[in-house]
Structure 1
């Protein structure tokens, strides 16, 4: 009996926060998550104004977007391990302060180089902040029903932030100044910092002295090569030697990373986090959703502004419908269905819902009548509900059976999958749309009507591809859910584990 009880104490999570304080943790970490996600899209609409103000060239302006994506995506796994070593609450605090400082520097930038460096700094601290926020949520909410509700809110805020970033970027650029797209992070970070004392202090797990340096080097360089390769694929083409070298190099480096982690005594990313069936399905489904959705956001933004003639603000307001429905899908559908509907059913249904939303837009034409009511609104609703429901469900399933030591790195892996999927999806779907439009113009000339028709034709073909990706993902989840799941169910509490151990002992 003594041995069993000792083992249980080693694996039990830290004591949960008192009920009165526990729910205050949710808005604090959700605000931080919103800030991180918002900055992935908020500067997109502001980019032309920033370029003109700072005198950036067309060849260099992409670094405003790319610098953030590379630092964030490349350093997430390292950030997850640092969270465990420093403690998740301390890492959360450092991430908030660093992100706010980098945002202030970017907002005050007087040259493109300063803005690029500030955006990279935002990415560095976001790589610490994002896994810390999710880890704190994992360690705070251990009850199954409370966990489902909390993850629903957290996922709704995070998923809606991508669309909300476009809305906020348009409003701030048009009615204030592009610099406020960065300054806005300072009051958000200050509010979140005021809530840090409400978060239960956690103990560090592990030490940076035993940091897996080969794993760090291979993961960072591999992820940076992949993400940068995806960003360069659209302007230069997938067959460009530089793009091929980056993508092949990234795949090789990440393959070596897996081999190193399998042999490492203290791996940066323990492979059992990825090979667990439940988590594996969650990671894969999120990657599929992000591949499709980020290209979708790009097309809707371009279509509404270049074809329909919407202003940036009106185009952003169109996506606001999607943001609201994303929150509804996460908080109401997924939150209420948690524990009542099998998770794989929710995941497959979410992918199908988003796919149907994209299928509607494949019917668009340049002269489509009543576009907003007949096409855009139902598409925004279906994709929003699907995205929100999937992220809430997948976030829950991706973090099952995690102790304190693995919470940070698992949270980082989950965010990494999202970043890689978003970068790949944007590059893939945008390059498909561009090539299809180019072929159309070769056959029909370059008149204004032909350009508009060719542009819409390119979008619809790319959306067919996105629909196919989502449908394939839903079918794959359905197939895997039919197979017997050998993963044990997530533990509900140390007390349950103790009761099971005693039962097993008595049976022997």
Structure 2
């Protein structure tokens, strides 16, 4: 019997000896819609880079406040006159704030990794010298060296952070953790200084830096990659000198105003000299071929107003610590150690704020984080106006208010860091982070003298507990008003499209 070939029907699959199960065709893809990019992740090396940079930045923040509680003990141990104790803090603050922008550009010239490691080595050596000091002159020289190390390490570390992490969620996360640790470090410094001074000696407030600095110096060379602009810029020496001396004059004037009042001759001389030199700096920057701070960069909304918001954020929160320290010790009668420990809640709030800030920015916008954080900080700072003289009621208000105020403040700080460093090429990151670091250092430095001057003016020389409480209340009101000013700036001046505030 012969077989005949049967042609399959059109469109039908010819059957083979081995039948294959029918597969449903894949759904059609839209050629216009690109496949979603994988979410960026922190690699093992980036985690190590982040850890090294964050440890260093936390230590730098601690140094701003670790000696505040120890000042009387240092005075007794080394024979400082009472009127000269302020120079232990002022000598550090002057150099840390005044040289930040200058060293930020030096990092662009010789390499940010190199200056970061070198400045941490200087910090370790100067801390060892300060801890071993036997005369006021040696200790003040060590504090100046610590300030110079901080002025160099802070912008270099921040530039290494922004250039190591691509712009977007990873950088926002890194800046969020960095901001949280910087703010928490300032609070932790007050606590750590009290603990070390009470349990060991004020010298350990210096010695504690040595092993940390040594560890960073040993690990960083193998972990961090060098970062510098492709084209090495020339150093604008006239601009560097005028901006450095101008900032020194401004910070000196503010510290003198906090100590002696706004009408003090030294305060007025410093403020006027600083203003004149900064005006001269702007004129120089218009004319030199390669300015230290190109005015086109300084004229960007993100850079100009972002740094203004950053300065306000650090002015208000660090000075609030000073005001509440006065309140806890002078009004409620707390010991320095107990007062320092009370700020642990504020430290927790700043850490929480730093961790949630990148998520808030990712889900909304940078501008929203700035506004929301400012509103929260304003509300809970204003709530402190209700602080009375009864310990139980006062702490029931102070602890939650400082916690939520710290959360709000950290939303602003992370928003400021993202705003001030976004949308700029890597070759301008040294400048951008130098400006951001300068705003941070000036804010930390200016806050306490400003609020101290407000308290001094409000008390009119009276030293009674009620007069000091009144002065603190007035200063808290000024503090809340400054936070609210930041909310207005973010709302009005960062609303234009293209400011770099995401989604603004």
The equivalences for 1:89-488 within 5 A come to 89-196=113-220, 197-203=222-228, 207=232, 210-331=234-355, 333-367=356-390, 369-373=392-396, 375-438=397-460, 441=462, 451-482=464-495, 484-487=496-499
> Is the partner of 1:39 in helix, strand or coil?
helix
User: Alpha carbons of 1:122 and 1:357: their partners in 2 closer, same or farther (altered >3 Å)?
Assistant: same
> Is the partner of 1:338 in helix, strand or coil?
helix
**Is it true that 1:87 corresponds to 2:120 in the alignment?**
no
Which residue of structure 2 lines up, in the alignment, with residue 11 of structure 1? Answer: none
Cα separation, 2, equivalents of 1:357 and 1:317: 20
Cα separation, 1, equivalents of 2:204 and 2:165: 35
User: Alpha carbons of 1:363 and 1:18: their partners in 2 closer, same or farther (altered >3 Å)?
Assistant: closer
Equivalent pair of 2:309/2:486 in contact (CA under 8 Å): yes
User: Alpha carbons of 1:481 and 1:217: their partners in 2 closer, same or farther (altered >3 Å)?
Assistant: closer
Q: CA RMSD in A?
A: 2.0
TM-score, normalisation: structure 2 = 0.88
Cα separation, 1, equivalents of 2:176 and 2:49: 14
Query: Greater share of helix residues, 1 or 2?
Result: 1
- How far residue 487 of structure 1 moved from its aligned partner, in angstroms, is 4.2
Equivalent pair of 2:90/2:255 in contact (CA under 8 Å): yes
- How far residue 422 of structure 1 moved from its aligned partner, in angstroms, is 3.0
Cα separation, 1, equivalents of 2:216 and 2:476: 38
Cα separation, 2, equivalents of 1:158 and 1:235: 26
Cα separation, 2, equivalents of 1:295 and 1:65: 14
Equivalent pair of 2:459/2:467 in contact (CA under 8 Å): yes
In structure 1, the gaps of 5 or more residues are 1-15, 491-508
Cα separation, 2, equivalents of 1:400 and 1:352: 23
- How far residue 342 of structure 1 moved from its aligned partner, in angstroms, is 1.5
In structure 2, the gaps of 5 or more residues are 1-39
- The farther-off stretch of 414-423 and 222-231 is 414-423
- How far residue 24 of structure 1 moved from its aligned partner, in angstroms, is 1.1
**Is it true that 1:45 corresponds to 2:69 in the alignment?**
yes
- How far residue 102 of structure 1 moved from its aligned partner, in angstroms, is 0.7
- How far residue 423 of structure 1 moved from its aligned partner, in angstroms, is 3.0
- The farther-off stretch of 364-373 and 142-151 is 364-373
**Is it true that 1:30 corresponds to 2:54 in the alignment?**
yes
- How far residue 479 of structure 1 moved from its aligned partner, in angstroms, is 1.4
Cα separation, 2, equivalents of 1:213 and 1:234: 32
> Is the partner of 1:362 in helix, strand or coil?
helix
Cα separation, 1, equivalents of 2:120 and 2:353: 28
- The farther-off stretch of 16-25 and 312-321 is 16-25
